[in-house]
Amino acid sequence: MFTEDEYIQLSALQHYVFCPRQCGLIHVEDVWHENVFTVRGDILHEKVDTDTYETRGTLKTVRGLRIHSTRLGIVGRADVVEFRKPTNADGSPDVMPVEFKAGQPKDDLSDKVQLCAQALCLEEMMNTQVKRGAFFYGKIRRRVQVEIDDGLRKQTEEIIAAVHEIVSQKKVPAAQYEKKCRNCSLLDICMPKAMNEKKLKGHMNELYVP
């Protein structure tokens, strides 16, 4: 069980999947910098995070719900949580988180991990089992459903543990320049190419020590 001051933000999981160093810079060093991708995401979330709910027939939709897990030490906000009737066979609530994304489905795990972490929070808070979640992607204007299966749960819990390690040890991972760095909002601050060159220079110096 984690105490509240040990909680990490759900957003840290996505940052970690994108780049462990980015996660460390944001969640240990408190560095943040907007770029076109982060601004697009914020605009979409502003439209969703309204702390409201509505009921239509058997479906209740809650927006901007605060969620957490004491077992995993995570906290955040779910864009939308849908509650359906009838409830599950055991009487527990039928719950589904829905995340809004500005772009389109990604090949990497980042979005799915965030959604699964939301499902794990909702399970603990509502004593139920969340079997599925969904994304609404702004670019393709379509909803995509995701199964919260055992494999995804395991990967998500491993990533949560890795982020806790970075944050509790206050250890920002070293930079490694890759193609994705060109889309990183922290590129100018991180300077991964310069760090690589510095490392290379260090190795060269070691090799030529008389």
175 binds ligand SF4 (CB under 6 A): yes
When binding is defined by CB under 6 A, the residue of 12, 148, 163, 190 that contacts ligand SF4 is: 190
159 binds ligand SF4 (CB under 6 A): no
Interface residues for ligand SF4 in 73-132 (CB under 6 A)? none
Residues 6+ apart with CB under 8 A from 155: 109, 113, 116
How many Å apart are CA 25 and CA 32, to the nearest integer?
Answer: 8
Residue 11 one-letter amino acid: S
> What phi-psi label fits residue 91: left (phi over 0), alpha (psi between -120 and 50 degrees) or beta?
left
163 binds ligand SF4 (CB under 6 A): no
Find residue 63's DSSP bridge partners.
80
Alpha helices in 28-180 (DSSP H): 36-48, 110-126, 150-169
Q: Which region, judged by CB under 6 A, interacts with ligand SF4, from 1-9, 15-23, 55-63, 64-72?
A: 15-23
Q: Which region, judged by CB under 6 A, interacts with ligand SF4, from 19-27, 40-48, 70-78, 88-96?
A: 19-27
Query: Which residues of the shown chain bind ligand SF4 in the complex (CB under 6 A)?
Result: 19, 21-22, 25, 175-176, 180-181, 184, 186-187, 190, 192
